[in-house]
Chain A
């Protein structure tokens, strides 16, 4: 059964964040910052997507 609080898009974005983070040790030193930035951006996008999902669920159940 699908859980109301679960947002598939947020899960995927946060998985991407984890993936980007896991690649940082392999990055040449010069490009460490790219891995860190990509990770942070995906965490922010994932959280934003999740909050948006929760907001939509609440407004639907409220109406």
Chain B
């Protein structure tokens, strides 16, 4: 079930990294998803497993984790994702997963099982990660515009940045693979610890790492080409330079958060970066309605998924 969650994540989020590459016709949709999937998979070798450890050991007390808790957490996260997709709220599956774990844990053993440090870290970065993406996006596009003004060759610059988007899309896919696949690894690791298959101090087993990255890459391969029209065109119209700046800004944010073990929403991060790039010329270029919906998703996702997961745990406990 955790791997299915990962597959759906890849399916759903693939377009975030390849929309601009496809929109500017650097790659065909099929080539672009293959490119993104490859970097999603490779991420396991580059950015470690700190996020997985935060999910497995840093959200709720390890002692209370059981198959029922993980099952209820996943039900909470999946239900919340489906509900928000239906309502048109761009919610984060990562936040839903953490909300699910908190809800199921509290339903099992009470509020004291929540590890406040881990929850605080995640909650604060729900807001900081898009803000970092936005700030970096704005700074990078300003630097690019300054360079283009010096060299006075916009046509040449667009040509160069069309190609450079291949690098930025790869970097973003790497960050996406690292941060998102690790959430699933974290769940599986928690489950392995709970069932005494590995010790509490154990690292993430290699088969878990590989299967999580494989699932997200497979999801990207299957889903990406259908969902190419995404954030890049929904939020603000973007040129090759802008696409490069947004993807690079988001990738840098994801590299940092992954290295520090902070689970963040890759969708919200790229959304922030796109808003930052779009706002460089005029604020009216940004579709603030979408940005406002992201804000509502921030507020409701963790508590909403927690309530659903708590309900799911109550059902699991009643049945078993």
Contact = CB atoms under 8 A, between A and B. Distances in A.
A42 B283 CA distance: 16
Contacts of A19: 127, 131
Nearest to A23: B124
A16 B131 contact: yes
Nearest to A12: B283
A45 B123 CA distance: 25
B121 interface: yes
A31 interface: yes
B61 to A, nearest CB: 17
Interface residues of B, number: 17
**A interface residue count range (under 10 / 10 to 19 / 20 to 34 / 35 or more):** 10 to 19
| Residue with the greatest number of chain B CB neighbours at <10 A, chosen from A23, A26, A28, A35 | A28
B127 A28 contact: no
Interface in B116-172: 117, 120-121, 123-125, 127-128, 131-132, 134-135, 138-139
Contact of B283 (A9, A23, A34, A35): A9
A28 B117 contact: yes
For the residues of B in contact with A, the DSSP-based class is: helix
A31 B124 contact: yes
Contacts of B127: 19, 23
Interface of B: 117, 120-121, 123-125, 127-128, 131-132, 134-135, 138-139, 260, 279, 283
30 contacts: A9-B279, A16-B131, A16-B134, A19-B127, A19-B131, A20-B128, A20-B131, A23-B124, A23-B127, A23-B128, A26-B124, A27-B120, A28-B117, A28-B120, A28-B124, A31-B121, A31-B124, A31-B125, A31-B260, A34-B132, A35-B124, A35-B128, A38-B128, A38-B131, A38-B132, A38-B135, A41-B135, A42-B131, A45-B135, A45-B138
